[in-house]
Amino acid sequence: MYKSNVFRYYFLGIFLIMAFLQLKAEKRAVIYEIGIKKEIDNTTRLYLRNGLDEANALGADAILIHLNTYGGLVDVADSMRTAILYNPIPVYVFIDNNAASAGALISIAAKKIYMRRGANIGAATVVNQTGEAMPDKYQSYMRSMIRSTAEAQGKDTIVQGRDTLIKWVRDPAIAEAMVDDRIVIPNLTDSGKVLTFTAEEALRWGYCDGIAESTDEVITWYLGYSDYELTSYEPSWLDNLKGFLMNPVLQSLLILIIIGGIYFELQTPGIGFPSAAAIIAAILYFAPLYIDGLAENWEILAFFSGIALIAVEIFVIPGFGIAGISGILFVIGGLTISLLNNTGFDFENVTIPEFGQATLTVLMGLGLSFILMLWLSSKIGSRGLFRKIALTADLEEAVSTPVLTGLTGKEGTAATVLRPSGKVWIDNEMYDGVSESGFIDKGTPVKVTRFENAQVYVRAKKR
């Protein structure tokens, strides 16, 4: 009886193993394709992140990035190469035509690189918007980043007869030569030239693992999947909108509108168009960052706390002191930190390019805001941009000049706090008053010095 049960379980186990192997043989391989065929920016970063998440959820056998780019933002490329390096499913790249600059960094992070004949990879020097090379501190970080990315691919052990040779899968010095024109690689590049490979050259020097004319050739010839199901990532309109709103140039313009709107609202009574523009710009600035996980609650709170402190400084506290300075620092800090990929107060994962890009974006917005405020301030009025809607009548003629003239030299009291504007009591009548001697408390004796634009100008009377 015991032997009978043993044989029964033995054959049952054999049957289950055979059934599992048969099921596995019948299952088609799932290859997930992510197309990146534009400038490397926050939109492409969203494509990659969402594509990797979807591929991992599907349990894909391999991920293939179909790449064609002239480069883009360094901090975004750093985020993308990190995601590729540490993704649990192997990521391969097929360079359709170009993998320049940031595209080269992303390609080197992939497990294998495949190129179309006639494609190129390299030229990863960090440049500004005009195409000029950035200072060496930026190049230094890029050199280190691209070198460490190549090193992450590890080394191969090659046995030749009785000799064992250990060599890099991708030589880090070659990767560095794509950034620094001072790097010399014997028989490859001389000093003074940034390295760029053709497909054949990349194949010869270990920066290409095969030449193919299509993704199908890559999958069947090199990855070895003859029967596969290809799933491609399809970007949504929300991805494109978020990416558009996270463009550094647009973010600078939104900062311009936020600061400009607040400034002009403080110069006018009531709440009107400047406030609405500032609120909408703030929503468009913070919303995509919050959804993407960059802006945290405390960072947004810091920004609005800064606005509140500035308002307190203007309307409550005389002069300009701690509240105003703290408010400015909170505003700049909230805008800047919201762009960084930090976790709480931990900034360990924030790279120098990311911090530099965030700071530059905010400073550009603040600088443009300052210039705009100066320009619009000079244009608003009887000779300016809004001359057709501005009030140009002479208020001194419109009001009872003799009455106001007769007030000069008279004494009264401050009916409200003058900061410097407010209300004053003169001969049991209330007038709009402006202080010419700084902050004046309510109830302080004052003396009228002159009148202008239907307002009396006063000084605090010495007790």
Q: According to the model, what pLDDT value does residue 255 have?
A: 86
Cα dist from 62 to 55, 91, 111, 112, 378, whole Å: 8, 6, 10, 11, 61
Coil, strand or helix at 130: coil
Cα dist from 209 to 114, 130, 169, 213, whole Å: 6, 34, 10, 13
Q: Which of 450, 402, 442 is nearest to 425 (CA)?
A: 442
Q: According to the model, what pLDDT value does residue 395 have?
A: 45
d(CA 311, CA 334) in angstroms, rounded, equals 17
**Among all chains, which residue has been given the structure tokens 């009148």?**
451
Residue 180's contacts (CB-CB under 8 Å, 6 or more residues apart) are 125, 139, 143, 194
Q: According to the model, what pLDDT value does residue 50 have?
A: 94
| pTM above threshold 0.75 | no
- Spell out the per-residue pLDDT of the chain, length 463, in tens: 545 555 565 556 676 666 555 545 456 899 999 999 999 998 999 999 999 999 999 999 999 999 999 999 888 899 999 999 999 999 999 999 999 999 999 999 999 999 999 999 999 888 876 677 878 877 888 999 999 999 999 988 776 667 777 889 999 999 999 999 888 888 888 777 899 999 999 999 999 999 999 999 999 999 999 889 999 999 888 888 888 888 888 888 888 888 888 777 766 555 567 788 888 888 888 888 887 777 888 888 988 888 888 777 766 665 557 777 888 888 888 888 888 877 777 777 777 777 877 888 888 888 877 777 677 666 554 444 444 444 444 444 444 444 556 778 888 888 888 777 788 888 888 888 888 877 788 888 888 888 776 678 888 887 6
CB 188 within 8 A of CB 174: yes
Structure tokens at 81: 């190469």
CB 242 within 8 A of CB 42: yes
**Phi first, then psi: what are they for 388, rounded to 5°?**
-80, -20
**Phi first, then psi: what are they for 456, rounded to 5°?**
-100, 140
CB 459 within 8 A of CB 436: yes
Residue 394's contacts (CB-CB under 8 Å, 6 or more residues apart) are none
Structure tokens at 286: 């913070």
| 456 membership: H or E segment, kind and range | strand 455-460
Cα dist from 188 to 69, 205, 229, 250, whole Å: 24, 9, 40, 42
Q: According to the model, what pLDDT value does residue 207 have?
A: 96
Q: According to the model, what pLDDT value does residue 68 have?
A: 96
Amino acid at 59: G
Q: According to the model, what pLDDT value does residue 327 have?
A: 82
d(CA 116, CA 212) in angstroms, rounded, equals 5
> Exposure pattern of 432-457 as b/e (b: 16+ CB <10 Å)?
ebbbebeebeeebebbbeebeeebbb
Structure tokens at 194: 């940034």
d(CA 433, CA 456) in angstroms, rounded, equals 5
Q: According to the model, what pLDDT value does residue 231 have?
A: 94
Q: According to the model, what pLDDT value does residue 285 have?
A: 87
Cα dist from 33 to 159, 218, 234, 391, whole Å: 36, 12, 10, 62
d(CA 312, CA 308) in angstroms, rounded, equals 6
Left (φ > 0), alpha (ψ -120 to 50) or beta: where does 230 sit? beta
Residue 54's contacts (CB-CB under 8 Å, 6 or more residues apart) are 32, 233
